[in-house]
Chain A
Amino acid sequence: MTIAIPSPSRVRRRGALAVGLLGIAAALSVATLSNPWLGHAVGEGIKDSLHGMQTVAAMLAERSPGARPEGALTNLKHKRQAALQERAAPSIPAPPTAYEALAAPPPVLPVAPLPEAPLYTTVAGGPVAPVTPGPGGTPGGPPILSDIPLPGGGGGGGFTPPIIPTVTPQVPVVPAVPVPEPATWTTMLLGFALIGRALRSRGRVRLRPVGG
């Protein structure tokens, strides 16, 4: 007996045709449903064309921004952008005001006396200055000293010695460096290298018996 078994190629072709048709149908329905304009054209446009005029619903739909989509209320992008703009404003550095410009010099001033410190130390060697009153002190001292005793000859000279000893011990001022020094870095890297070397060498030791 002979049973007509469709050849596998024919089955395949028929399956292909079915899948293709299904695809077209699915695409059509998806396109119609997802696109309100096309859906409107398919649904109401044909009816309208029968009358030859636009329905009121179509007229209202034309001016409408559309229905509120499902996710419209969960989308906060708009709000976040506004908040960003609000936050951005205070972060812009304001130009220094006149008061700040006036207030700025004081931090510069302490830097200026530092180089002058050695000058005072040299003067410290000569607390003799107050001993020689008035005009004798002014030519003996450098121009800086001449500035100091201006208010009152002998009185000014008498004031300077107590200040001088306080300035002299300032010499060994070394600011602490917050960044690790090159030596620290080198030590750390060397440590890493040693760890790596140790690991590699140990691995080699382990592999040997397995290979053997």
Chain B
Amino acid sequence: MRGGVLAFASALLTLGAGTWAFSPPRPEASAETHTPTSATSSAAGDRLFLTNAQLTQAIARGTFDRPVKSLLAVPASLHFGDYVWNDRGVPAGPTWVRVDLARQLISVFRAGHEIGTAVVVYGADGLPTPAGKFPILAKLKDHRSATYDAPMPYTLRLTGDGVSIHGSSVRWGAATHGCIGVPLPFAERLFNATKVGDDVVVVASAGQRPA
């Protein structure tokens, strides 16, 4: 019996060490992503064009609810407060926004191409951000919330009861009362890129199909 316990312990140790050793290290973000990047980098290497198979799979899994041609190539995982915006060479077209709560990401698409992405903060556990498709109801540039007595610059109103996308302090461990908070410079760009009526698709979990 003692041998079994020893085997158990050694197995745990070995596998623990193994997973630690073989787990890919969290990619260290380069200075480029630490400081918010703007549309200055070259367009060639900054975009990943999706194949038909990839798109079909993404739509089948519910990742996207409409065709997407390309995604921004983000070299490393974004930190809280980081964003990437690159609409160089992207033609005019229908704009929509995808918010991924499980991955804490927002993506802005224009004419099928992703033009911006950022880390978001979203509703706290007791005040969840609703999932679904919400056309932008109103745009309020210098909004101040009467409910929370707080500035909410570049607000994009999503629901009648006040859920919005707005500029916010995006940091680890922060949450909202149900809104989607984005970094302020990103909020400004998003505000300028969208218009009332554009779709905002909020996806709660990775596999969930937006309503």
User: Which residues of A approach B to under 8 Å, CB–CB?
Assistant: 12-13, 15-20, 22-24, 26-28, 31, 35, 37-38, 51, 53-57, 59-68, 72-73, 75-79
- 19 new A-B contacts at CB < 8 Å, known A20-B8, A55-B54, A56-B57: A12-B3, A20-B4, A20-B7, A22-B8, A23-B11, A27-B12, A27-B15, A35-B19, A38-B19, A51-B57, A56-B58, A59-B48, A60-B100, A61-B103, A63-B76, A63-B77, A65-B119, A66-B104, A77-B173
Q: Least Cβ distance of A34 to chain B in Å?
A: 8
B77 touches which of A18, A62, A67 (Cβ 8 Å): A62
- Asked whether B44 is an interface residue with its Cβ less than 8 Å from the other chain, the reply is no
Tell me which residues across on chain A come within 8 A of B19, comparing CB atoms: 31, 35, 38
Q: Is the CB of A17 within 8 A of B77?
A: no
Tell me which residues across on chain B come within 8 A of A78, comparing CB atoms: 171-173
Q: How far is the CA of A51 from the CA of B74 in the complex (A)?
A: 22
25 contacting pairs across A/B (C-beta < 8 A):
A12-B3, A16-B1, A19-B1, A24-B11, A27-B11, A27-B15, A28-B15, A38-B22, A53-B51, A55-B54, A56-B54, A56-B55, A56-B71, A57-B63, A60-B105, A60-B107, A62-B74, A63-B117, A64-B78, A64-B105, A65-B103, A67-B104, A72-B173, A78-B172, A79-B173
Q: Least Cβ distance of B77 to chain A in Å?
A: 6
Q: Is the CB of A23 within 8 A of B119?
A: no
Q: Is the CB of A64 within 8 A of B100?
A: yes
CB 8 Å contact bits of B77-105 with A (1 = contact, 0 = none): 11110000000000000000000101111
Q: How far is the CA of A1 from the CA of B8 in the complex (A)?
A: 39
For the complex of A and B, the 4 pairs showing the least CB-CB separation, nearest first, are A23-B8, A19-B4, A20-B7, A16-B4
Q: Is the CB of B4 within 8 A of A66?
A: no
A23-B7, A73-B124 in contact; A65/B104 too (CB < 8 A)? yes
Q: How far is the CA of A67 from the CA of B53 in the complex (A)?
A: 26
A37-B24, A53-B51, A72-B172 in contact; A15/B15 too (CB < 8 A)? no
Q: Least Cβ distance of B117 to chain A in Å?
A: 7
Q: Least Cβ distance of B139 to chain A in Å?
A: 26
User: Which residues of B approach A to under 8 Å, CB–CB?
Assistant: 1-5, 7-9, 11-12, 14-16, 18-19, 22-24, 48, 50-51, 53-55, 57-58, 61, 63-64, 68, 71, 74, 76-80, 100, 102-105, 107, 117, 119, 122, 124-125, 171-173, 175, 206
Dominant SS among interface residues on chain A:
helix
Q: Is the CB of B206 within 8 A of A57?
A: yes
Tell me which residues across on chain A come within 8 A of B79, comparing CB atoms: 65
B23 touches which of A28, A38, A60, A68 (Cβ 8 Å): A38
Q: Is the CB of B4 within 8 A of A18?
A: yes
A38-B19, A65-B78, A78-B173 in contact; A56/B1 too (CB < 8 A)? no
Q: Least Cβ distance of B161 to chain A in Å?
A: 22
Tell me which residues across on chain B come within 8 A of A20, comparing CB atoms: 3-4, 7-8, 11
Q: How far is the CA of A67 from the CA of B1 in the complex (A)?
A: 41
Q: Is the CB of B77 within 8 A of A57?
A: no
Q: How far is the CA of A62 from the CA of B29 in the complex (A)?
A: 12
Question: Closest residue to B125 on the A side, CB-wise?
Answer: A73
Residue picked from A18, A54, A62, most chain B C-beta under 10 Å: A62
Q: Is the CB of B104 within 8 A of A64?
A: yes
Q: How far is the CA of A24 from the CA of B48 in the complex (A)?
A: 40
Q: How far is the CA of A200 from the CA of B201 in the complex (A)?
A: 82
